[in-house]
Amino acid sequence: MGVADGVDFYKFTATQPSEFTAVISGNTSPIRMTLLQDKDNNGVVDNNEELANNGFNYNSSVSLTLGAGTYYVKVATANSGESTNYILYLTA
């Protein structure tokens, strides 16, 4: 799934509380995955809305137990102009 060219966002909805895992692989440049929730529904990622991240890494994952709601996974390369292929797996 996808080519990170700066920043990509993926939206998903949990219909019931579940253990969520995002796994990224195949990237040739470090990627930072961030799990987000737009708690105040303003369409903007605010400071307190980052739930978890994997730092800048290769072949890594983020896991968290989530309640029902809408969440986002942000996929970003270390430098804004940098791009890399990657595969993102989302399970809940």
Q: Which is nearer to Ca ion, 56 or 72 (CB)?
A: 72
Q: Which is nearer to Ca ion, 15 or 42 (CB)?
A: 42
Distance CA 25, CA 61 (A): 9
- The mark string for 13-52 relative to Ca ion (x by CB under 5 A, - otherwise) is -------------------------x-x-x-x-x------
- Cβ 38 to Ca ion, closest distance in Å? 4
List Cα–Cα distances, 71 to 46, 49, 68, 77, 82, in angstroms: 13, 10, 9, 20, 25
Per the listing, tokens 């961030």 go with: 34
Please answer whether residues 66 and 18 qualify as being in contact, where contact means their C-beta atoms are separated by less than 8 angstroms. Answer: yes
Q: Which is nearer to Ca ion, 19 or 50 (CB)?
A: 50
Per the listing, tokens 């605010």 go with: 46
Size of the site for Ca ion (CB under 5 A): 5
Binding site for Ca ion (CB under 5 A): 38, 40, 42, 44, 46
